[in-house]
Amino acid sequence: MSRKKDIHFEISERKVLLRIIDICVVILGLYLLEICMDFDYITVAKDNLGYLIVLAIYITVFGTIFEIYDLQKSSKLDVTFRNIVLTVSTTVLFYLLTPVLTPFLPIQRLEIVYFYLCIITMIFLWRWAYITFISTPRFYKKVLLVGEISNIENIIKPLNQSDPNYKIVGFINSEAEAESPIKFKGLKEFESKNLLQVIRDEKISEILVASYNSETITAEIYHDLISLLDQGFIIREYTQVFEEITYRVPIQFVGKDFYKYFPFSRSNQNTLYLFFHRTFDILFSVIGLCFGAVILPFIILGNFIANKGPLFYFQERVGRNGNLFQIVKLRSMIVNAETGGAKWAQKNDSRITKFGMFLRRSRIDEIPQFINVLRGDMSIIGPRPERPFFVNELSRIIPFYETRHIVKPGLTGWAQVNTRYGSSVDDSLTKLQYDLYYIKHRSVFLDINIVVKTLSTILYYRGQ
C-alpha cells in the first residue's frame, strides 16, 4: 500500500528543534541589532564565539528551568510568553553578573536594554511561528489504535496529556465480536474489515497495538498487520510508546513477561556512577544544611507565631531493600495530626498549618532530610520514601510496588517533578510508574534533568 507520507515531528525532534532555533534566532537578532544600530556589547564575530556559547548555554539551562521546552506549555502562546520573559530575564541577569565568562558591561548602559528586548522579541516571534505553523493538525502524528476496548480509556488519556501532537484518531477492536459487545464512546470506532481503507482515508502514520493477550487478535486483523509490516508501515506496541511519550513504565499492563520491561539501568551497579552520585549527595547536603542554618532563626520565629509546637518531627520510613529508618523534617501539620491513624495527605489538607503550607510549597520543610542523606539512609535523587503502613497496603494492590526499593529513596525524584503529591492509590500507581522509569533509565543526564525540574518546582511554588 503506497501513499504519500505526511510530515510529523517526534517529541525529541520538537524539543531539539525548539532549543536549536531559539539559539539561532537570538544570534540572528544580535546580528540585526549590530547592523541596524550602534550596538557593540556582543557582536556576532569569531572573537566572541565563547561569549555566544555561554549565552546559548544560559538560554538552554534557564529555558529548561522555566519550562519553555515543555511541549504542553509551548503550545499555548500566553504561557509561552510568560515563560520566555522569566527565562530571558534570568539569562540576562546571570550574563551581566558573570563578567569572567561574558563581555564587560557596555559603556552605553542602554545597550543592555536593547540586548534584553532583542532576545525576548526574537524567541517570542519564533515561538509564535512554531505554534501557528508547526504545532498544528497538519503536523500531528495520526495514530490508529488496535486493541481491546476495555483498555482504551487508560491508554488514550495519558498519551494525549503527554504529547499534544500525538493524535489517536480512532480504534479498531481486535477481539472477536461478542454477543453483548462493550462500546466506547470516547473515540471513533472503525470496522476491522476496513483497516487498510481507514489508513488511506485518515492518513494514518502509525498503528498502535494494545492487547493484553495477542492470541485475542482476530486472524483477519493479524493478516492485515503482517501485510502492512511487510510494506514498511510503522506498527508499535503500546507499552513501548507509553514509556517513550510519558516517561513512565506502564506496570498495569505488564504480565508474566515482566522481565521484558525491566532491564534496569547499568548505573545501578556502576561503581563510578555510584561514587559520583554519593559525592554529589554529600556536597549538596553540606550546602543545604548551611543554608538551613542561615534561615533557621526565621523558621523558628515563623513556627512560634503560626505553627505552635515542636519544630521538627520524626517518622519511620521504608528505605533501600525495605530497611526502615527515621526521617527528620520540619513540622508542617498540627500537633497530633494522626490521632485516628495514618491518613493520606490531601490537597488543601486542613491539618496543614498556614506556616506549614509555606514550608511545604517552598520545600524548606525538606532541609533537615539532608541529615538523612549524610547518614546514607537517603540520596538527593530517588523515589520518595514512604511509610511502612502505606507500603504494606500499596504492595497488596499495585504490582511491583516494592521494586522501587532497589535504590535509595531521595529528597526529589522523577515522580516528584512530574506529578502531584500522592493522595490515593491511583496517584501512587502513577508515581510508581515514574519511579520505575527512573530506576530503568537512571543516568547522569536524567539526574541533571531532575535537578533542573526541581528548581522549576521550587520557583513556581508547586511543592505540596
- Name the DSSP class of 352: B
Number of C-beta neighbours around residue 65 at 10 A: 23
Alpha helices in 37-48 (DSSP H): none
Please report, for residues 132, 149, 160, the alpha-carbon distance to residue 157 in angstroms, rounded to integers and kept in the order given.
25, 14, 5
Q: Give burial (CB, 10 Å; 0-12/13-18/19+) of 145.
A: buried
> From CA 292, how far away is CA 289, in angstroms rounded?
5
Q: Are 184 and 176 in contact (CB under 8 A)?
A: no
Can you spell out the DSSP letters for 114-139?
HHHHHHHHHHHHHHHHIIIIISSGGG
Q: Give burial (CB, 10 Å; 0-12/13-18/19+) of 348.
A: exposed
Q: Give CA torsion, residues 122, 125, 130, 132, to 10 deg.
A: 180
- The 10s digit of each residue's pLDDT in 92-107 is 999 998 888 898 888 8
For residue 206, the cross-strand partners are 143
> From CA 332, how far away is CA 329, in angstroms rounded?
9
Domains and CATH numbers, the chain: 11-134 (no CATH), 140-246 (3.40.50.10700), 266-459 (no CATH)
Please report, for residues 101, 112, 121, the alpha-carbon distance to residue 109 in angstroms, rounded to integers and kept in the order given.
19, 6, 19
What pLDDT, on the 0 to 100 scale, is given for residue 94?
92
> From CA 172, how far away is CA 174, in angstroms rounded?
6
> From CA 250, how far away is CA 235, in angstroms rounded?
19
What pLDDT, on the 0 to 100 scale, is given for residue 81?
94
What does the block give as the cell for 253?
A: 499492563
Q: Which residues of 294-308 are buried (b: 16+ CB within 10 A; e: fewer)?
A: eeeeebeebbeeebe
For residue 146, the cross-strand partners are 172, 209
* pTM over cut 0.85: no
Which residue do the cell numbers 548551611 mark? 290
What pLDDT, on the 0 to 100 scale, is given for residue 5?
53
Longest Cα–Cα distance in the chain: 83
Residues in CB range of 160: below 8 A, 6 or more apart: 166, 167, 168
> From CA 439, how far away is CA 453, in angstroms rounded?
17
Q: Give CA torsion, residues 137, 141, 145, 149, to 10 deg.
A: -50
pLDDT beneath 70, residues of the chain: 1-12, 136-138, 150-151, 176-186, 212-215, 255-261, 339-349, 421-423, 461-464
> From CA 413, how far away is CA 437, in angstroms rounded?
11
Q: Are 330 and 312 in contact (CB under 8 A)?
A: yes
> From CA 74, how far away is CA 80, in angstroms rounded?
5
Residue of 355, 352, 369, 358 lying closest to 314 (CA atoms): 369
What pLDDT, on the 0 to 100 scale, is given for residue 151?
65
What does the block give as the cell for 317?
A: 520510613
Q: Are 104 and 27 in contact (CB under 8 A)?
A: no
Ramachandran region of residue 182, left (φ > 0), alpha (ψ -120 to 50) or beta? beta
Residue of 66, 31, 73 lying closest to 52 (CA atoms): 31
For residue 143, the cross-strand partners are 168, 206
Q: Are 321 and 406 in contact (CB under 8 A)?
A: yes
What pLDDT, on the 0 to 100 scale, is given for residue 95?
93
